[in-house]
A and B are shown apart, each in its own frame.
Chain A
Amino acid sequence: GENVEQHPSTLSVQEGDSAVIKCTYSDSASNYFPWYKQELGKRPQLIIDIRSNVGEKKDQRIAVTLNKTAKHFSLHITETQPEDSAVYFCAASIGGGGADGLTFGKGTHLIIQP
């Protein structure tokens, strides 16, 4: 089955700086790559996703890039703010998420230092 590796496990950045979280996946058939944000005690919530026919997608301060050849994708957060502090999970799916579920990475704890 699919295996998703995520790095780093903890990332501390100064407020206003950029943060980058990286993931690799094992199954070349995967075609859907969402990112979820989970605040302490809350549910995971989708913040951005990308499908395999697109190399990059941006939504305000958040962007995701995908390299299908290398089987890795990354989350980029610019101009970080205190409210960005949370655990971020990458995931991969063959069937587009709803069809067969998601395989998640272990998560990155992002800490924004004031």
Chain B
Amino acid sequence: DAGVIQSPRHEVTEMGQEVTLRCKPISGHNSLFWYRQTMMRGLELLIYFNNNVPIDDSGMPEDRFSAKMPNASFSTLKIQPSEPRDSAVYFCASSQLENTIYFGEGSWLTVV
């Protein structure tokens, strides 16, 4: 299996621009998670889906952030408009219920 696949791996964008991060979970996994990692706040759970349904988005920092999972093999995390404080590594992860969570390689976002 190719593992969790994320794109883009690196993105540099200007403040105010829209950013879309993409994720393909491991085939057969029915849970998908979006995490954000920064030096100050560590690994934070932003939102997760079970069977394509958003279950808990309490970690989404504000209305500028949105996530979708239109089918079992694809999810997006969108930031609009982006701000410098959104600069972080965004990890997508997937699992089968109650089993190990596997992380993607991450999307390194820099907002200037």
A-side interface residues toward B, CB under 8 Å? Answer: 1, 32, 34, 42-46, 49, 89, 95-107
Contact = CB atoms under 8 A, between A and B. Distances in A.
B100 A98 contact: yes
A63 to B, nearest CB: 18
A105 B95 contact: no
A98 B91 contact: no
A97 B96 CA distance: 9
Given A100-B56, A104-B42, A43 B104 contact: yes
A46 B42 CA distance: 17
B87 to A, nearest CB: 16
A1 B48 CA distance: 15
A6 B48 CA distance: 24
Contact of B105 (A43, A46, A100, A104): A43
Nearest to A42: B105
B43 A104 contact: yes
A46 B93 CA distance: 12
Given A46-B100, A89-B42, A96-B99, 9 more contacts: A34-B101, A42-B105, A43-B105, A49-B100, A99-B31, A101-B33, A102-B101, A103-B45, A105-B42
B112 interface: no
Given A34-B100, A43-B91, A43-B106, A99 B50 contact: yes
